[in-house]
Each structure stands twice: as C-alpha cells, then as structure tokens.
A and B are shown apart, each in its own frame.
Chain A
Amino acid sequence: MKNKKWLRSVAFILLLSVAVMGVMQIYGLPKTYDTRNIAAFDAEQEKLVDGVVLGTSVVAHSWLTPVAWQDYGVAIYHLSTSVQPFGIVPEYLDYVQKTQDIKYAIIDIHGLRTEAILSGLRPAKFRAAYLNIPDMESRFKVLKALNSYVQEVYDFYGKPESESNTVDLEDKSYLIPFINFHRRWVDGLKKADYVTVSNRFMGANDRDNSFGVMDCSEFIDRWNFKLTDEIDDFQKGQLQEIFDYAAEKDIELVFINIPSFRSKSEQKEMSEIIEYCKSKGYDTIDFTDSKVFEESGISLSEDFLNKGHLNARGGVKVTKYICEFLIENGYYYTDHRVDEAYIHWHTTAEKYNSFYEKGWAESKA
C-alpha cells in the first residue's frame, strides 16, 4: 500500500473516531442533575476545596455551597448522586483528592440503610455513580469498587429476586452506556443531551423544585423510637472501610443524618448507624435528634420539599448548622472570603442569592 493510502486511511480513522466519540457523548448516559453536579466540581480550580459532602439525593437538596461560602467562607462541595451506593465512598474521596486537598469529608448515611442498599442496586443509579466522573482512571476505580460492593451485598443479603434490583456490571453497557442509551432517539433528544452544562451554583440545587413546600408535621412520629438494635455486619464493614481509608489519608470524618421521613424502622436504623459511628469516636450530626433538630431551626411545616428531601430553605439551615458545627468542633477552618483565588465563589454566591430570592418569590406568586 502506498504512503498516500496509509495517510488517507489514518485521516479517515481519525475523522471517524471523532464522529463516533461525539455521537457516543450525545447518546451516552442521559444528563441528569448528578452529571451537572459532578461537572461543576470537576470544573473547579485545583486546591481550593477544604471538604466534601457525600451521600444520596438528600445531600443534593441540602448542601448549598454558596451559602456555606457566603456566611462562613467555608469551601465545601458536595458530590452526591441519586441513591449513591455507600461502597464507593473511598473511591470518591480518592477522585476528589486528585485535584483537591480536602481536610474532612461529611458523609450522609441514608445510603447505608438496608432498604437503600437493596433498592439501590439499580443499573441507572450505578451508572450515575461512576459514569459521570470525567476522569477515566477514577471512573474505573469506582466501577471496580461497585463490582465488589455488589458482590458483598449479594453475599450478605442474597440476590434480590426482582431483576430491576440487580446489576450485572459485566454487561458491556456499563462500560459503554451508548449500547443501551442510543435508543433515546425514540423519545427525542433535548439540548441538554448535546451540551453538558455544569450546575450553576457549585452543586447547590439549581432546579425550580428547590422551592416547593410540604408540611411534614404529621410524620414527626417516625422519629420517635428507642435505639435497641445494632447495625448489621455488612453495614459495619462498609463503615470500617471508610474509617480505614480516612485514617490512611488523614481525612477527618463527620457522619450526618439529614432530616427525612422514611419509615419509622428506616429512621431508627439510620440513627443506629449514627450511634455506631459515634461509638467509634467519630463526630456525628443526627438532624432527627430532637435537640439537634430544634437547634437547626428547621420547620416541619415550611422547610421540606417532600417526605424525603428538604427544600432550599431547609437546605440553608442544614448547611449553616453543619458549618457552625465544623467551626465549633475545631475542624480545619480558614475564612477564604478574603482570598483572591476564590473571587469566582463570590460571584456564584451572589447569583445563588438572586436565584433563591426569585425562586421563593415566584413560588409564592
């Protein structure tokens, strides 16, 4: 074959690869708020973040980076994903550490309750947990961790009978989501499928549903229980992996239980997890504890979006409470508001203020 043909072939393959990659990007994993949140973290400048909050969607609704920044000068992002599998916390922290030098991690324990573990074994949730990570090395580490997590869950609890609650990470579509998601053309694609947009407010919920209100007063009885049981060995094992990792990497841990109204037994289980962490010497914040709840100022009638999540007003209260807790309890604290490197945080915080004011004004109207 002549040189000209070789060159043409290489050029063709390059052009084809670009086209294929582009199409795979568009028709790959559907873009959700998880995508935008992690994209926002990924876009952040290096070595500016002091800590991260990990957990499920309760975190996405409750942690407001702009509020923590504006009121305390604290630089904390959240990297929550919907029903985030608990078994990937160390790998997520590893990913965070690649660009940031975090001093502490705040971990919500909703993902460790048995119901979340079992119902969370869903392909969409797993894909969201690792495919949104832009860094390929970290992505594969998370996938590997998910693999062993699934195996451990199956070994301990047994494989769920329902197919929708099982995941087969050997399936090629876990590596190449395009295999399954290319058929989204049947429903029609939107602009968001073509362009990945970062969350506008450093991960703070920027959707209009932040401003809904549900009166949850009638569910308060679900927080009324006595702690009687110990958490199971699987849960202990998951926590131990995080304890060990944090000790090795010199990251301080705070375990939190953001207020929500799951069933009474689930609420009890989450408080028991918090108790277990406390017994191991870690700081904890259980917002369902009446004293903490009262101190936080969260209103049952005004600060919930639904039974599972806080609205933006509730989020502000949780964020502020956690910041004060960190400062009062001697966690690393520097007020970065005077640092020029953080100038873009000011702008974002201001924009969030406008969004917040406007959101509530419109919701009342």
Chain B
Amino acid sequence: MTLISVEFALLWLASAILYFIFPLKYRWTVLLAASTVFYFWGGIGTGYFMLLTVAVVYLTARVLDKYNVEHKEYLKNNPDLTRDEKKALKLKNQKKKRVILSVGLVICFAFLVFLKYFNFLSQQTFGILGIFGVQAKAPEIDLALPLGISFYTLQATSYIVDVYRGKLRAEKNIAKVMLFVSFFPQIIQGPIGRFGHLAPQLYEGHRFNFTQFKYGLQLFLWGLIKKLTLAEYMGIIADEVFTNYNDYKGIIILIGSMVYGVQVYADFSGGMDMIRGVAQVFGIEMAVNFERPYFARSVAEFWRRWHITLGAWMKDYVFYPLSLSKAFASMGKKTRKVFGTYIGKMLPTFLASFVAFFLVGIWHGSSYKYVIYGLWNSVIISGSILLDPVYKKVLKKLKVNTECFSWQLFQIVRTFFLVSIGRIFSRADSLTASFAMLRNMFSEFNPWVLTDGTLYELGLTAREMFLVFLVIIVLFVVSLMQEKGMKIREALDKQNMLFQWLVVIGAIIFLMIYGAYGESFNAADFVYQQF
C-alpha cells in the first residue's frame, strides 16, 4: 500500500473515524492497528524483521533503563559517596550499558546490513578474492528489503541510544514501542522521528481539532500537488537524460541533473507534506524534514535544510560522538603540531563529517555511486570551511560586496549547481555512468540547445513544460513567503471563507486535471521509498 492509493485513503479515513470514536486513553491502539494493516497489507513477507527490531529495541531499552534507574537509586541511597567513587560507579555502570547498547545496535544494524548490503559486500569481497586467484561464486541472498527498513532502523536505534544516554525512560508497553517504530504514514520514507518528540504524541489521545484536521488535509493536498504536478513531470526529463546520457552533452546533462534535483525535492518534500498532513489529522505534529533547501547559500546549509531528520540523526549519533571522542581529540592534538592550529582544530571535525557523509551515502543504497555521493558533499563542505579564510581574503581584495542580494543570489545558484553535480552520482545508473555524464557535461558548451527546440525532445510537450513552469513559480512564491516567516495555512485561514474555498477547490481541480497519474504513470512510487 502506498500513500497515493485508494487503499491508503480508505485506511486513513477509517482510522481517523475510529481514532476520534475511541476513548482518549485507547486512541493509540487505532494508530497501531492502522500501522499494522498498512505495513502488512501485502502479506508478512520480510516484515518480521521489523517485528524483530521492535523486540530488540524494546528489550535493550528496558535493560538500559533498569541500569539507569538502579544507578540513580544507588546514588540517592548513598549520598555519602565521594566524587571519585561516584565517577568509578558511573564508569562501571556505563560499561555494562555500553555492552547492552552495542548488542542492541549490532542486532538492529545487522538486519539492515544483511538485507541491504549483503549482496553488494559479497560481490565486492569475492571480486577482490578473484584478484588473488580465489575463484568462487559470490553467495547472494534473495530476500525483499523490508518496507522502510532504512528509516525505521535509524528511528528505533535513536530510541535506545537516547535511553542509554539517560535522556529518556524506556517504554514498558511493547505495543507502544511497535507503534513508535511503525507509525503508518512515516514508516516508508520518514521523517526519522525521535522518541522524545513523537512517542508522547502517539500515545496521548488527541481530541478532534477542526483547525488541525483542516490544516492536515491542506498539507496533504499541497504535497500531492508537488508530487503529481511537478515531480512526475520532472522525472520524465530526468529519466530521459540519465538513461540515455550518451546521447546528450553539455548543458542538457546539467539541465538533467538540475531537473532531477527539482524532481527529488518535489517528490520527497511532497511525500513529507503528505505524511505530515496525514499525522496532523490525528493531531500529531511530525518533525519537519525540509526547510526550503534550494535557498541554501552553501552546501553545509543545504544539508541543514535537506532531509533534516537524517542530518540530525547523523549529527547526534555519528558526528558529535565521533568528533568529541577521546580518539579524535587526541588526533587533533597530534595534528596541530604538524599542520598548525587551524587545521589541527578542524581535522577531527572534517573526519567526523567524512564518516557521517560516508554513512549518508551508503544509507541511500549499496553502490559505490552512493559512497561518492556522500563523499562529494563531505569534500565540498570541508573544502569550503578549510578555504574560508582564503575566500575572505580574495573577496576583500576584489572589494566584493557580500552583504547584498546579488551576492546571496550568486551563493544560492552556486550551491544549487554544486548540489546538482552531486546528484549525478546518486541518480546515475552506476559510478561509471556518473563519470561518463560528468565527462559529457564538460565536453561541450552548447547553449543553443536552450533555444533550438532540443528541450522539447526530452519527453515533455510544450503544454506540459508550461505547466511545470507554472508549478515551479507557485512553489517558488510559496517557499519565498515561508522563508519570510509567513505561515501559509494560517494566512489562508484569515481570508474570507469564499476565497479559502476557491483556493482549496481550485487546487483540487488543478491536481485532478494536471496531475500525472493514470495509465502512463506509476505515481504511487516515491524516490525515497526505494532507499
């Protein structure tokens, strides 16, 4: 079952009705039932891995919580302990907890690694063995990837790490843990929720709130418009360029990668809006995953605005633990002596960022192209930080005004260009294909393709191009208003009723007519669903 299907609409409707009929205390059970129906709609399949993950995080969190409680109680009952004794006790407790956490994390990630990366790792290993004369067929597993495993694994593991850190108490009811891991709108493509933010909202019953309900439906509609009237059409051009990249050169390749950037944004952020809209109908506010990333003025800022929950996960559970670890601190000290204070100070950060982006890359899939995709972003960010003093000097010397709109616009365009180059790695069929595309892109400067009708040969008619252009304008204006701090739905709510109705009905009719669905489209698939 996918977000864009009659089945999902019926499930949403039925669960919303039941949710508000059930007593407040038991409303979470409706969400759990809906999530179970959603997840197992197509059969059990490999869905038992999700159940195993739930069991593992439940048990891990309970044991960790027990240690946390015992430790606190011990300190409470023994107020006379010296500082050293407390420290020793804490270390001892932490050691035990670390073992438990490690076991939990290893099991959870083992499912992910085994199912998502086993075939890739096996092929690579046997490929290397082949170089040394060991000829054998690489073993492969033939198991479908469980729905949403990349998302729920991160969500579930963040829960046990937070319990380990003592930020959270463990949930005693395993059914509630299951709801947190498998909440139906978000399990396929996020956002990657945090227990502290999401779980209380899931468990407490929400009373029917008309405004929330309305806002939820509006957000869903807006997401659907992005998906069906922009992402799907952009996808036609992107597919054409990325599939037949050998037929194109220069600007067409650049356009293809930029168009893919718009496609994946409209697709993913549209999906997020739909998911948040579904949750909002139940009174649940999900984490925001996008904050107008294409307004970013640097790649680092882009990643603070793009797939925010993944970035935040990497920051909290990979980047900070690594960069603040003893090993990295000691490495920093040593390198300061060799490379100087600035580089010595930044190196642990760069390395931690490198690891985090490497993980972001392979999180997307088991292919070298994703590794390069992650590393491209890491190198750009690290490089820009490293060269920042040089840039500043050059700009000062050239007397460039960096406080004006034109400079900001330049930064935005530059960021979009750099991000688009990185997109070639993530979208191309293989690493070889992405390098070939880059080669083709820089092999010819052919601006005439913008005016000689070549663009109309990429799969869209003139009418469709106009439609896409129109939607991009609307998206841009809406984004600009949001960037200025305007809350669109609240602003609409303040207008006259007739105007509100016309806007919403107009949007629905627009979507119905111009939406890319039906025989020639498979609009139910979201790009990030595959990750």
Question: Do A182 and B509 touch across chains, with their CB atoms under 8 A apart?
Answer: no
Interface residues of A in 148-191 (CB under 8 A from B): 172-173, 178-180, 182-183, 185-186, 188
Question: Do B517 and A179 touch across chains, with their CB atoms under 8 A apart?
Answer: yes
Question: Do A182 and B210 touch across chains, with their CB atoms under 8 A apart?
Answer: no
Residue B74 is within 8 A (CB to CB) of chain A in the complex: no
Residue A227 is within 8 A (CB to CB) of chain B in the complex: no
Question: Do A23 and B512 touch across chains, with their CB atoms under 8 A apart?
Answer: yes
Question: Do B515 and A20 touch across chains, with their CB atoms under 8 A apart?
Answer: no
Complex Cα distance, B297 from A304, in Å, reads 72
Question: Do A182 and B513 touch across chains, with their CB atoms under 8 A apart?
Answer: yes
Interface residues of B in 514-530 (CB under 8 A from A): 514-520
Q: Which listed residue, A20, A172, A183, A185, touches B6 by the CB 8 Å rule?
A: A172
- Describe A's contact surface by its main secondary structure: helix
Q: Which residues from B are CB-within-8-Å of A173?
A: 518-519
Q: Which residues from A are CB-within-8-Å of B128?
A: none
Q: Which listed residue, A5, A27, A188, touches B513 by the CB 8 Å rule?
A: A27
Q: Which listed residue, A5, A16, A186, A188, touches B464 by the CB 8 Å rule?
A: A186
Complex Cα distance, B512 from A182, in Å, reads 7
Beyond A12-B501, A185-B463, A186-B461, is A180–B513 a contact (Cβ under 8 Å)?
Answer: no
Number of A-B contacts (CB under 8 A): 46
Question: Do A1 and B505 touch across chains, with their CB atoms under 8 A apart?
Answer: no
Question: Do A1 and B461 touch across chains, with their CB atoms under 8 A apart?
Answer: no
Q: Which residues from B are CB-within-8-Å of A172?
A: 6
Query: What bracket does the count of chain A residues touching chain B fall in?
Result: 20 to 34
Q: Which residues from A are CB-within-8-Å of B463?
A: 185-186, 188
Residue A8 is within 8 A (CB to CB) of chain B in the complex: yes
Beyond A8-B497, A19-B509, is A182–B6 a contact (Cβ under 8 Å)?
Answer: no
Residue-wise, chain A 23-40 has the 8 Å CB interface mask toward B (1 for contact) of: 110010000000000000
Q: Which listed residue, B6, B461, B501, B516, touches A15 by the CB 8 Å rule?
A: B501
Complex Cα distance, B507 from A19, in Å, reads 11
Q: Which listed residue, B208, B464, B497, B518, touches A182 by the CB 8 Å rule?
A: B518
Beyond A1-B210, A172-B6, A173-B518, is A178–B501 a contact (Cβ under 8 Å)?
Answer: no
Residue-wise, chain B 332-344 has the 8 Å CB interface mask toward A (1 for contact) of: 0000000000000
Question: Do A16 and B515 touch across chains, with their CB atoms under 8 A apart?
Answer: no
Interface residues of B in 488-521 (CB under 8 A from A): 497, 501, 504-505, 508-509, 512-520
Complex Cα distance, B93 from A281, in Å, reads 98
Q: Which residues from A are CB-within-8-Å of B210?
A: 1, 5
Question: Do B515 and A182 touch across chains, with their CB atoms under 8 A apart?
Answer: yes
Question: Do B509 and A180 touch across chains, with their CB atoms under 8 A apart?
Answer: no
Question: Do A23 and B519 touch across chains, with their CB atoms under 8 A apart?
Answer: no
Complex Cα distance, B513 from A27, in Å, reads 8
Interface residues of B in 275-323 (CB under 8 A from A): none
Interface residues of A in 73-127 (CB under 8 A from B): none
Q: Which residue of B lies closest to A6 (CB)?
A: B210
Q: Which listed residue, A5, A20, A183, A188, touches B509 by the CB 8 Å rule?
A: A20
Interface residues of B in 331-376 (CB under 8 A from A): none
Complex Cα distance, B514 from A329, in Å, reads 57
Complex Cα distance, B504 from A16, in Å, reads 9
Q: Which residue of A lies closest to B463 (CB)?
A: A186
Complex Cα distance, B518 from A173, in Å, reads 8
Complex Cα distance, B461 from A188, in Å, reads 12
Question: Do A23 and B509 touch across chains, with their CB atoms under 8 A apart?
Answer: yes
Complex Cα distance, B515 from A183, in Å, reads 8
Complex Cα distance, B513 from A55, in Å, reads 34
Q: Which residues from B are CB-within-8-Å of A8?
A: 497
A152 to chain B, nearest CB (A): 25
Question: Do A180 and B464 touch across chains, with their CB atoms under 8 A apart?
Answer: no
Q: Which residues from B are CB-within-8-Å of A185?
A: 463, 513-514
B507 to chain A, nearest CB (A): 11
Complex Cα distance, B524 from A172, in Å, reads 14
Complex Cα distance, B6 from A180, in Å, reads 15
Beyond A20-B508, A186-B464, is A180–B518 a contact (Cβ under 8 Å)?
Answer: yes
B404 to chain A, nearest CB (A): 42
Q: Which residue of A lies closest to B519 (CB)?
A: A180
Question: Do A16 and B505 touch across chains, with their CB atoms under 8 A apart?
Answer: yes
Complex Cα distance, B344 from A257, in Å, reads 94
Question: Do A178 and B520 touch across chains, with their CB atoms under 8 A apart?
Answer: no
Of B505, B513, B517, most A-chain CB atoms within 10 Å: B513
Interface residues of A in 1-59 (CB under 8 A from B): 1, 5, 8, 12, 15-16, 19-20, 23-24, 27
Given contacts A23-B509, A179-B518, 12 further A-B contacts (CB under 8 A): A8-B497, A15-B505, A20-B512, A27-B512, A172-B6, A173-B518, A173-B519, A179-B517, A179-B519, A180-B518, A183-B516, A185-B463
Residues of B near any A CB (own CB < 8 A): 6, 208, 210, 461, 463-464, 497, 501, 504-505, 508-509, 512-520
* CB-defined A-B contacts under 8 Å, sample of 20: A1-B208, A8-B497, A12-B501, A16-B505, A19-B509, A20-B512, A23-B512, A23-B513, A172-B6, A173-B518, A178-B512, A179-B517, A180-B519, A182-B512, A182-B515, A183-B520, A185-B463, A186-B461, A186-B463, A188-B463
Closest A-B pairs by Cβ, 6 of them: A180-B518, A179-B518, A180-B519, A1-B210, A19-B505, A16-B505
Residues of A near any B CB (own CB < 8 A): 1, 5, 8, 12, 15-16, 19-20, 23-24, 27, 172-173, 178-180, 182-183, 185-186, 188
